[in-house]
Structure 1
Amino acid sequence: MCPNISAFLSGLIFALGLGLSGMTDPANVLGFLDIAGGWDFRLAFVMGGAIAVHAALRPLIYKRERPLFAPKFPAFSVSGVDRGLLVGAGLFGVGWGLGGYCPGPALTSFATGATQLLVFVPAMFAGMYLAQVLQARRSASAGTPSLGATPAP
């Protein structure tokens, strides 16, 4: 199976899971975040199920010599908590809390044409682009490759 088909099928399964669990509805997400009011615990079970599948499969995947559709497993240079991580996580959380969407459900629901999604999704992509530009500038000034860069052979 080629990488594009594999990525498409993975995304399709993810989208179906979001839809079946009701997590494309921002009211469910906001209900989860409302711990002082009418807390909706269902998102905790969705996240718990995802974590359980990941925890079970990750050791099996890393027993392989290499991934199915890549020459090697990625090596991440960031291993600790820094200011950029904290700011990014904070912005993500604020956006999630204000909009009720995180990226997956926003893209899954985008086809509905809901006005808030027609604003949220382009703003999300603009934020992703801005984050890449800032990371590339920081990396260039520090003389280190950015996270998305591939090292020269």
Structure 2
Amino acid sequence: MRLLSALLIGLIFGAGIAVSGMIDPAKVLNFFDIAGTWDPSLAFVMAGALAVAIPGYRLVLAARAPRFAPGFQLPDTKRIDPALIGGSALFGVGWGIAGFCPGAALPALGLGLPDVVLFVAALMAGLLAARGLKRLGPPKPARG
């Protein structure tokens, strides 16, 4: 049942991304082109997502536990550290350059376009590289 639930949620999310046009990188890139062909529709999509997510989180987190898991998987810290800032900046730069974020790229894979396949391959390589770097731990201080 847990897998079926995840599949259904993923299909709803992917359909929303597709219907909103966010699988088209030109639409996203036009949002960032304020001085040129600016398209504010991404802001409306984000506002609509927040209008659903904020009350949804309040409703869901009022329960003791999710239906198909022993507990919620929430961050255990609210600390803003260099890794969070660097990761956020890297995500934003990648999104601005490629016009894709992972949430839009995965549903767009269904189109079979080479750009999307290349983006998702680079995304997976980046995830594996980050996981490998995290296993190595923080850099050791240089001895003088």
TM score, norm. by length of structure 1: 0.84
Which residue in 1 is equivalent to 2:65?
Answer: 66
Partner Cα distance (1:67, 1:3) in 2: 11
Which residue in 2 is equivalent to 1:81?
Answer: 80
Mapped pair 1:36 → 2:35: yes
Which residue in 2 is equivalent to 1:12?
Answer: 11
Cα shift at 1:138: 2.3
Cα shift at 1:113: 2.2
CA RMSD after TM alignment: 1.6
Which residue in 1 is equivalent to 2:105?
Answer: 106
Q: What percentage of residue pairs aligned between the two structures are identical?
A: 45
Please state whether the residue corresponding to 2:37 is helix, strand or coil.
coil
Cα shift at 1:77: 2.8
Please state whether the residue corresponding to 1:47 is helix, strand or coil.
helix
Q: Deviations over 1:21-65 (max 9, x none)?
A: 111001100011112222111011111111111111111111111
Which residue in 1 is equivalent to 2:122?
Answer: 123
Partner Cα distance (1:52, 1:75) in 2: 21
Mapped pair 1:21 → 2:20: yes
Partner Cα distance (1:100, 1:109) in 2: 12
The runs of 5 or more residues in structure 2 that have no matched partner are none
Higher relative contact order (CA 8 A, sep 6+): 2
Partner Cα distance (2:5, 2:17) in 1: 18
Large movers: runs of 4+ above 4 Å: none
Please state whether the residue corresponding to 2:3 is helix, strand or coil.
helix
Partner Cα distance (2:129, 2:97) in 1: 20
Q: Deviations over 1:42-97 (max 9, x none)?
A: 01111111111111111111111111111111242332211111111111111111
TM score, norm. by length of structure 2: 0.89
Counterpart amino acid of residue 103 in structure 2: G
Counterpart amino acid of residue 108 in structure 2: S
Count residues with an aligned counterpart.
139
Cα pair distance change 1:58/1:115, threshold 3 Å: same
Which residue in 2 is equivalent to 1:148?
Answer: none
